[in-house]
A and B are shown apart, each in its own frame.
Chain A
Amino acid sequence: QKEVEQNSGPLSVPEGAIASLNCTYSDRGSQSFFWYRQYSGKSPELIMSIYSNGDKEDGRFTAQLNKASQYVSLLIRDSQPSDSATYLCAVKAGRRALTFGSGTRLQVQP
């Protein structure tokens, strides 16, 4: 079992819709959770971090964390074609480095 699991996609949504990206993790000691966006051939860029159960909103992005279910999600409202990218979920436990999922490719159709 992978430590961090994501559906590889592609997830296709129409422009203006809500995109919902999901991630599950196996280490119950995980404390910090991150979503990175990566355009093709580019480096990952942090878009959201979340540390406690519940929702965290930043502009069009909302991260949701449920530690009991070992589940973290990212919602993108009013999706734009420029949001088309691969979204990487990353999890950290203690002093360990980040563990990344394999990413979900999002396609926003104009």
Chain B
Amino acid sequence: DADVTQTPRNRITKTGKRIMLECSQTKGHDRMYWYRQDPGLGLRLIYYSFDVKDINKGEISDGYSVSRQAQAKFSLSLESAIPNQTALYFCATRGAGTSSTDTQYFGPGTRLTVL
């Protein structure tokens, strides 16, 4: 089974709808991240969480919110989806500790299309 899972894998929705993307991990990592990827723009950080009570905005948090329901679960919500939120969304996890544990592990991604 995959260590980092995302649901749904694909979603098509309409402008103005509320959407939730979910991420679960079995790696036991404290740190979780949400990124979006657009062609030619690389991965941009939306939100990140160091633990259940520590949630931080990334560089492009406007229009998004998150919930860290448990150490293993980190959800991303679009309260009112708009077409320019069409993108590939990745969840990632990382263990706390020294630089040797800096590796971020990515989920398979969710392709979101907002019409």
Contact = CB atoms under 8 A, between A and B. Distances in A.
Interface of A: 4, 8, 31-32, 34, 41-46, 49, 51, 88, 90, 92, 95, 97-103
A101 B42 contact: yes
Contact of B43 (A42, A49, A100): A100
A7 to B, nearest CB: 12
A98 B109 CA distance: 17
Contacts of B106: 43-45
The CB with the most chain B CB atoms within 10 A, among A32, A43, A99, is that of: A43
A49 B103 CA distance: 8
Contacts of A90: 104
Contacts of A42: 108-109
The A interface is mostly helix, strand or loop, or mixed, namely loop
Interface bin, chain B: 20 to 34
A97 B33 contact: yes
B42 A103 contact: yes
B48 interface: yes
Interface string B75-105: 0000000000000001000000001001111
Nearest to B38: A102
Given A46-B103, A46-B104, A49-B103, A102 B109 contact: no
A98 B104 contact: yes
B58 interface: yes
Contact of B58 (A44, A49, A97): A97
